Amino acid sequence: MTELVIVGAGPQALSLCCLLLQKRPRWRRRLRIIDPSGRWLSCWQRQMERFEIPCLRSPSPHHPHPNPNALRSYAQERRRSRELEGPYGLPRTGLFSEFCQSVVEEFQVAHQVQAVSLEGIHLEAGRSGSLHLTLSDGSLIQARRLVIATGAGEPVLPNWVQRIVRPYPKEALQHSRMIDLAACRGLQGQHVLIVGGGLTSAHLALGAIQRGARVSLMCRRELRSKLFDTDPGWLGPKYLKTFRSEPCWRRRRQQVLAARDGGSITPWLTMTLQREHRQGSLQTYENCQVRQALWSAGQWRILCEEGRNLLADRIWLATGHKLGVSLQPLLRQLHKQQQIELVDDWPVLSDDLRWPGTNVHLMGGLAALRLGPAARNLFGGREAARLISRAAVKA
Ligand SMILES: Cc1cc2nc3c(=O)[nH]c(=O)nc-3n(C[C@H](O)[C@H](O)[C@H](O)COP(=O)(O)OP(=O)(O)OC[C@H]3O[C@@H](n4cnc5c(N)ncnc54)[C@H](O)[C@@H]3O)c2cc1C
Ligand SMILES: NC(=O)c1ccc[n+]([C@@H]2O[C@H](COP(=O)([O-])OP(=O)(O)OC[C@H]3O[C@@H](n4cnc5c(N)ncnc54)[C@H](OP(=O)(O)O)[C@@H]3O)[C@@H](O)[C@H]2O)c1
């Protein structure tokens, strides 16, 4: 029987793996990490490349190494401290990637990721709490403990998208999840409508402009400029202490949503967008929403709620992702076998992020009722790793 199976090999899983191995080096043989890519951080790397992101949005202590100062020391030793930007030391993407690679080497986990995905979870009846797992290659494994760290969730598709009458070319309407700027052909002279007001919308807008497109950025509220997704008080005890003493789960959920308050764009990118606006390559439509989109004669005819009409060659949805137990097949299976309290589809986990009554732990955004609004970020990965490793080692 495997002691611990970690599903997903993103930065959150790497945080846990390193912390566990630091506490218990002998656990190496008892650990099994699975991810269809067979590599660490493949989704992370891809998302940074696809949107051509030059710099992270999180401060330098947020990374997968157990020592929060490790990234700063790595940069100093290589005389690359200038790649940690501003008062919070936001890491340049290249520096962060190379650092993560060095973490993988330091903890000797490069070959530990098995290239399969988890497809089925079966909870064994009785007190043992062990788990039977079905993998995509058809094999079955038995595990004492499982950690699900599978990341983002499902793309948000606005209601008007569901009402579009097909057919239209695939590249004419895409969610950001499917967009790779480097692979976009023929943007020169095209009009691209980008829907959304988060940081992804800003990166896509700049990427399209650089390729000669005329861009319209449409968001349903006003564009908001913020350094981080949340106030920095949520990345430490300032707000988290009160949040974690709140006994009402529904109020906690409201606090998480209010703290993130939808999408926002960093001050530096806001300034860059304003410059593009002044130069005429970007048009912004705030407090504006699409009511209907019709593909006709090789173009989108778009009618907005406010009565405005637009023509566009492509629509890119930078509308983010949503998380919920009912949206994830693995969690749906788990909930069928072991029902737990849900608050609007978010699970109420125990304080070690365990699905109550089982030996399954969750990392990522679905741990937000315990970890707060940064649960899905690198910060959340560190917090989750701390709680889960403590439980695993104690057991
Ligand atoms: C463009 C972009 C930029 C971001 N920048 C930042 C930032 O600067 N700072 C920050 O803190 N946060 C940032 N975020 C949030 C960010 O997504 C997270 O910090 C980070 O990727 C979360 O890591 P993760 O390990 O939870 O998920 P992921 O990196 O998505 O990894 C999840 C892994 O699970 C695997 N998986 C999925 N299903 C299965 C299965 N059934 N079986 C096996 N494996 C499976 C996937 O293949 C994937 O490799 C950004 C998000 C986006 C979209
Ligand atoms: N490191 C980086 O440089 C970088 C780059 C990209 C992203 N990120 C991070 O990745 C995470 C996700 O960012 P994201 O921009 O993809 O998503 P996001 O922050 O969730 O923003 C999604 C945007 O889509 C809008 N939206 C959602 N549903 C909509 C609908 N039905 N109709 C119209 N608009 C709708 C939202 O509007 P409301 O605001 O009104 O809710 C919001 O502005 C964030 O944590 C972000 O910081 C980091």
The band of 351, judged by pLDDT with boundaries at 50, 70 and 90, is very high
- From 320, 338, 363, give the residue that closes a domain: 320
Q: For ligand 2, atom 6, which residue shows the shortest CA distance?
A: 200
* Tens-place pLDDT, residues 55-81: 999 999 999 999 999 999 999 999 999
Residue 197 CB less than 6 A away from ligand 2: yes
From 45, 48, 57, mutation site for ligand 2 pocket: most ligand atoms within 8 A of C-beta? 57
Q: Are residues 143 and 277 in the same domain?
A: no
**Contacting residues for 88 by C-beta, under 8 A, at least 6 apart:** 59, 60, 227, 232
- Determine the pLDDT at residue 197: 98
Residue 48 CB less than 6 A away from ligand 2: no
Q: Are residues 149 and 162 in the same domain?
A: no
Pocket of ligand 1 (CB under 6 A): 7-13, 34-37, 42-44, 47, 51, 56-58, 62, 117-118, 149-152, 200, 364, 376-378
Spatial distance between the Cα atoms of 309 and 211, rounded to a whole number of angstroms: 25
Structure token digits, residue 288? 């504006």
- Percent of the chain residues topping a pLDDT of 90: 95
* Tens-place pLDDT, residues 303-314: 999 999 999 999
Contact 115, 38 (CB under 8 A): yes
Asked whether residue 90 is assigned to any structural domain, the reply reads yes
Which residue range is the domain that position 182 belongs to?
A: 155-226+264-320
- Determine the pLDDT at residue 228: 97
Burial class (CB in 10 A: 0-12, 13-18, 19+), 375: buried
Q: Are residues 180 and 35 in the same domain?
A: no
- Percent of the chain residues topping a pLDDT of 70: 100
* Tens-place pLDDT, residues 207-261: 999 999 999 999 999 999 999 999 999 999 999 999 999 999 999 999 999 999 9
Q: Are residues 202 and 63 in the same domain?
A: no
Structural domain count, the chain: 2
Cα 200 to middle of ligand 2, angstroms: 6
The band of 166, judged by pLDDT with boundaries at 50, 70 and 90, is confident
Q: Are residues 171 and 316 in the same domain?
A: yes
Measure Cα distances from 264 to 77, 113, 155, 223, 226 in Å: 34, 34, 17, 7, 6
Structure token digits, residue 321? 């992702």
Q: Are residues 7 and 74 in the same domain?
A: yes
**Nearest atom within ligand 2 for CA of residue 158:** 31
Q: Are residues 288 and 367 in the same domain?
A: no
Q: What is the CATH number of the domain that holds 200?
A: 3.50.50.60
The ligand placed nearest to the CA atom of residue 158 is 2
- From 320, 344, 364, give the residue that closes a domain: 320
The band of 371, judged by pLDDT with boundaries at 50, 70 and 90, is very high
CA 60 to chain centroid, in Å, comes to 18
- Determine the pLDDT at residue 94: 98
Spatial distance between the Cα atoms of 334 and 122, rounded to a whole number of angstroms: 8
Residue 322 reports pLDDT greater than 80: yes
Q: Are residues 221 and 350 in the same domain?
A: no
CA 250 to chain centroid, in Å, comes to 23
* Tens-place pLDDT, residues 103-139: 999 999 999 999 999 999 999 887 778 999 999 999 9
Q: Are residues 174 and 299 in the same domain?
A: yes
Neighbours of 125 (CB within 10 A): 7
Asked whether residue 257 is assigned to any structural domain, the reply reads no
Asked whether residue 192 is assigned to any structural domain, the reply reads yes
Q: Give the mean model confidence (pLDDT) for residues 362-372.
A: 98
Residue 198 CB less than 6 A away from ligand 2: yes
- Determine the pLDDT at residue 129: 83
Q: Are residues 144 and 179 in the same domain?
A: no
Q: Give me the helices (H) in the chain, please.
A: 11-23, 42-50, 70-77, 93-106, 159-162, 199-210, 237-245, 249-260, 267-278, 329-337, 368-371, 378-394
Q: Are residues 80 and 145 in the same domain?
A: yes
Instruction: Give, to the nearest 10 degrees, the angle between helix 378-394 and helix 11-23.
Output: 40
- Determine the pLDDT at residue 152: 86
- Determine the pLDDT at residue 130: 93
- From 320, 338, 362, give the residue that closes a domain: 320
**Nearest atom within ligand 1 for CA of residue 57:** 8
Q: Are residues 44 and 101 in the same domain?
A: yes
Spatial distance between the Cα atoms of 145 and 88, rounded to a whole number of angstroms: 36
Spatial distance between the Cα atoms of 97 and 316, rounded to a whole number of angstroms: 27
